[in-house]
Amino acid sequence: MPAPTAALTIEGLVAEAARFSAAESAHDEPSLFGVTDGKAVGTYLEHKFVAYLMDRYSFAGGNSASGIDIPVLNVDIKVTSVKQPQSSCPFKSARQKIFGLGYHLIVFVYEKSDDSAAKTARLTIQHNVFIDKRRTADYQMTRGLREIIQRDGNAEDLVAFMHDRNLPVDDIEASAIAELLLREMPEEGYLTISNALQWRLQYGRVIQHAGIVDGITRIV
């Protein structure tokens, strides 16, 4: 079978994700029977989707240096259970909470069921959403900062808000961010991002607004 030569695009990724989600939702997988580790399920689905894409398109896969799954498109794949749709991602800078993660996300939200008689598992994809990097900041943080700017707030107001929201920055960095915000209004993000050694991303609001807000595409 000849190697694929078609270049992968965002549009192609979204279209293939829809087809993949439909096929996976009808697939019975023996290796996942009885598996309760969400990380193992997530790794299975991420690897399977990347392999599916590589069968059809020519592109380099992700690696530990790039830190994201599809670096050619600047897209990271996230897989999470519908019971608690959230995942973690590397903390690079507190600015990510205000200006976004710096890359797009494609999120698969599954419901897992086991068939005891057949000893197989099925991952039904309940939601599949593409989030443009412009929308990957924290909702409450960006909403609050935007409201302060719109009410003619100054740098001191912005710094106070950042400290009130426990943004992990010192006074110097907070002041630098405030000056940048006064020059450039941040986009409204739609993730809930919790402070930790790794960011904890929660997707409830993204699922709710998918297909309604520009930059958040509902695939499934």
Region label for 108, one of left (φ > 0), alpha (ψ between -120 and 50) or beta (otherwise): beta
55 lies in the same domain as 112: yes
Same-domain status, 144 and 55: no
- Residue 146: the pLDDT is 98
> What confidence score (pLDDT) does residue 1 get?
59
Compute CA 137 distance to the chain's CA centroid, rounded to the nearest angstrom.
10
Residues 148, 74, single domain; the answer is no
Q: Which of 71, 88, 102 is nearest to 8 (CA)?
A: 71
Supply the range of the domain harboring residue 143. Answer: 139-183
Binned average pLDDT, 10 residues per bin, the chain of 220 residues:
81 97 98 96 96 91 75 96 94 96 98 97 98 98 98 98 96 98 96 88 96 96
Q: What pLDDT score does 195 carry?
A: 85
Domain count, the chain: 2
Q: What per-residue confidence (pLDDT) applies to 65? A: 58
- The alpha carbon dihedral of 206, 187, 68, 51 has a sign of positive
Contact 137, 42 (CB under 8 A): no
Asked if 114 and 45 sit in the same domain, the reply is yes
Full-prediction pTM beyond 0.75? Answer: yes
Shared-domain flag, residues 169 and 130: no
Q: Please count the residues of the chain.
A: 220
Say if CB 7 and CB 56 are below 8 A apart: no
In a domain, 4, yes or no: no
Same domain, 150 and 167: yes
Q: Which amino acid makes up residue 34?
A: G
